Structure 1
Amino acid sequence: MNQDAIIEERRHIIKEAAKGYFDDLNNTRRHGGKTWIAPQTLIREDKALYLPNISGKPLVGKKAVNTTTMCAGRITVLAMLGTKISEIHAKGFVDPTYEHYGTHPLFQYVQVNLQENLLKSILVNLFTKSLRSTVPPELHPYYLVSSQNMEYVRDAIGMTNSKVGYVYLIDENLKIRWGGCADAMLEETQALETCTGVLIKRLDKLKPPGTRPRT
């Protein structure tokens, strides 16, 4: 076995063992779970990380899909959800951007309801019908219910608190070009809308609207 991989695994186990069960909840109570401020401009492409591949079942259809297939070739605003408060956080960031670009053929809004806890995951799947009634029908194909283990990628993408919402702007090459977390500040909401527009315009020059139909 790879010695570096073994060492990394041990570090991860020690880190998780030292983390209290209520850490995320306490951090949320103290400062709303906001651990970083979203950038005002796009992250440079050569500095940006790739979006981890996340699999889940959409609210329509029976087959699981993955974010790599969904997001390639489009500009995507992706929200990571797990609690009711995280849904409120996501709305604070996304609503103006979705209102502006929601019908653009090169744009999509993807939501991932991530439940890594097995029991909670089962409950969410049982209440999928309820989710369908609260999520707008046009977003059902883009709303994934996932139980994927994200332990080893959380820190890399800044998703360190399971109680709050995270929003990422993904370019057509699957790179994370912007991100925000917890309660959205006005300037962060405006930055997401502006940055989304920049990426759409750039892609628009390569692939004119109408050449890439929505699925």
Structure 2
Amino acid sequence: MPEDAPEEETEAAVDDIPEPAPAWRRWIVPGVLTVLALAGVLAALLLLPEDETAATEPGPAPEETAIAPPAFLSPEPATPEDGCSRAALLGAGDFQAQAEAARACGEALAPDTWLGLVEDAAAQEDAAALLMFGMLYDAGWHDAAIEDAIGLSFGDDPAQAAEYYSRAAAAGSPAAPDRLAAVCAVLARGATTLQEAAHDDYCT
């Protein structure tokens, strides 16, 4: 029956058309590519800070070479020992104790520093300070520690010595009267008008 042939051929052709793939299969390749891309980006982010740190991290600083001062420069002046400073001597106690500490300091004590302490004590009519001033003006008395080691000396001036010995005696120094008597013997010879006046003021 020739009329049925086309229908059979049509059915056979329909059977030969492949069925479409499931929808999930169409997303496999894009999904895999997306995952790989994300993994690459993540790896780059993890490696980037380390690379930048390595690139920007400074290297070790060059060693500094100490430069010695020129030989012609004089060294810095030595400073007095702590125990021979003005503050330390003031902390020793009264003027008599300060004088003992000053003698122990010797060359470590600046003459101006010691003179300032003697002047301060003498201004308060301290007997020991007044006696020391008299001795510094008295050629008949020599204190090696004060005049030689420290370097504080005024030279011979019996009129000034008599004034300080007189004040020291009035302040209660037991040694001052004998020193005043010795200086008065020098002033009695009256070498100058000033000495005669000092003799009249302090020795009579």
Give TM-score, length-normalised by structure 1: 0.26
State the TM-score, normalizing by the size of structure 2.
Answer: 0.27
